[in-house]
Chain A
Amino acid sequence: MVQKYTLGILTLFILGLATVEPQTAFTLRRGLQGSASETGEGAAQVLVLETQLARDALILEQLASSTLLGTVAEVYSEYPFGLKSELLVNVGKEKGVLVGQPVLFRGIFIGRVTKVFPHFSLVETLFDVRTKYPVRVGKKGVDALLVGGGEPRLTLVSNDAVFEPGEAVYAAIPSLPYGMPIGAVGTMSVARDGLFKEAQMIFPFNPTEVRVLRIRTDWDPALHKTES
């Protein structure tokens, strides 16, 4: 009888916590998961500069990825299972966040907003298997498709394309600001079908250390829609 009542009280307590104070679980989970920091801000700045140089070489428009644009957002919680990679951040509709806006970490494009709540937003990152983004690589602006996942990679790179490991990879996504830095080219290989080249991606940060992001709330996705 005592056990029955104890269980009932505990169930109600958890139900109350889940409804009123969900962030207690976020904090607890983060504490248990821990975080690691392997690379610092310096590497990110180098990448931003390399991208800038690559784009200058192509005489393209001025780099649109100033780190000062947009709204600062703190990561509240993250998707706890595999395959997908989603972050819940602490700004939402009230701060002008819209679905489709790009999200940056230290000036590097990390994903985009997929869901907006009054005080929160959900960001789908590059480390989600569902993501695919057209990108450009290096000083020659080689076209490639960035396929997301635990280890994002560059695919569909033409066999005669010329670029070296370490060159900057930047966004060429029609509905997002052009030229946002994404990462650098890692080890290159030939795709299984032999028709294209592939390359691993190098990011100047560890995905587990992402805690503060910047959402480009100045960017209106409705004005840059490519699908009817």
Chain B
Amino acid sequence: MRLVGGGIIFLFALLIQLKFGRVGFGLENFLLLSLVALATVLRTRELLFFILLSIWFLNWQPSISGELVALVAIPFGVHVLKDIFPGSAFFGCVLAAGLGVGLWYVLAYARVILEFPFVFVGEIILGILWSFPFFVAVQFLRPAE
């Protein structure tokens, strides 16, 4: 059930990113945000499946790129560190999404950050805002305690 729920969230993010991912406004990181949110509730193998699915779907060239490394490393990082994030869901979301988008830019667009620092800061803020629906949605996937 959790896998199906995660799949719906993932597909929603994928479609949004495919349609609007190139217009900016933080939408290019929609898939990353959904993976970061899912990383807080899914098991490792379930997360691995979604990460692999996104890499297969988004890869656009026959070599390894910074973007795809980021797409693997950031959700896994959040998954490993999720217990370290403070208990407050709100603070956890902000930290995970903010760090996720920030790290994404460092890994994928290091050159661009220096040239467009305002875009970088803006994307982090937008990433945090866009991440809230995902973090709310994944709460329904948490196993009952």
Contact = CB atoms under 8 A, between A and B. Distances in A.
B56 A25 contact: yes
Interface stretch (A10-18, A45-53, A103-111, A179-187): A10-18
Given A7-B49, A11-B48, A29-B18, A81 B28 contact: yes
B18 A32 contact: yes
B61 interface: yes
A22 B55 CA distance: 10
Interface string B67-78: 100000000000
A74 interface: no
Nearest to B115: A129
A179 to B, nearest CB: 28
Contacts, number: 92
B24 A150 contact: yes
B52 A14 contact: yes
Band of interface residues on B: 35 or more
B84 interface: no
Contacts of A170: none
B62 interface: yes
Nearest to A33: B18
B142 interface: no
Given A11-B52, A83-B28, A22 B62 contact: yes
Contacts of B49: 7, 10-11, 14
Contact of B59 (A3, A8, A25): A25
A26 B17 CA distance: 15
B60 interface: yes
Contacts of B3: 3, 7
Interface string B29-60: 10000000000000001101100110111111
Contacts of A4: 45
Contact of B45 (A11, A86, A129): A11
B108 interface: yes
B56 A115 contact: no
Interface of A: 3-4, 7-8, 10-11, 14-15, 17-18, 22, 25-26, 28-29, 32-33, 77-84, 86, 88, 115, 117, 120, 122, 129-130, 150
Interface of B: 3, 15, 17-19, 21-24, 27-29, 45-46, 48-49, 52-53, 55-63, 67, 108-109, 111-112, 115-116, 119
23 contacts: A7-B49, A11-B52, A14-B52, A14-B56, A18-B56, A18-B59, A22-B56, A22-B62, A29-B57, A32-B15, A32-B19, A77-B60, A78-B60, A80-B22, A80-B58, A81-B29, A82-B23, A83-B112, A83-B119, A88-B61, A117-B62, A120-B61, A150-B23
